[in-house]
Amino acid sequence: MKSNFSEIINSDKPVLIDFYADWCQPCKMQAPILKELKSKLGDDVKIVKIDTEKNQQLALKYQVRSIPTLLIFMNGQEKWRKAGVSQARELEQVISGLKSEA
């Protein structure tokens, strides 16, 4: 990842981080759900995929023990996390809840 991770998550908009691996079947199920979410929310959310195989230090730092693991950051702070496949509606509710807090 070229840009600095802390720069990416230090946004006043929700930043959804998807920790995944290419060989992971549930991760493959999560990908189209995130596309759907992005098409619904547009610029209201930034979605970043992080390959745990290529970014093992980052996965360790954020204690990602299973994949997919989704984390949502705002202003550099972790606001939400869930391991396993998440549905678009659930993610949408979490993100709109965070935006109303801001």
Mark whether 27 is an active-site residue. Answer: yes
| Residue 24 annotated in active site | yes
Looking at residue 93, its pLDDT comes to 96
Average pLDDT over residues 40-60: 96
Structural domains in the chain, sorted by start: 10-101 (3.40.30.10)
Tens-place pLDDT, residues 1-20: 446 899 999 999 999 999 99
Catalytic residue, chosen from 27, 33, 45, 72, is 27
Q: Which of 8, 24, 58, 83 is catalytic?
A: 24
How confident is the model over 64-93, as pLDDT tens digits? Answer: 999 999 999 999 999 999 999 999 999 999
pTM value is: 0.93
| Model confidence at 36: pLDDT above 80 | yes
User: How far apart, in whole angstroms, are the C-alpha atoms of residue 28 and residue 31?
Assistant: 5
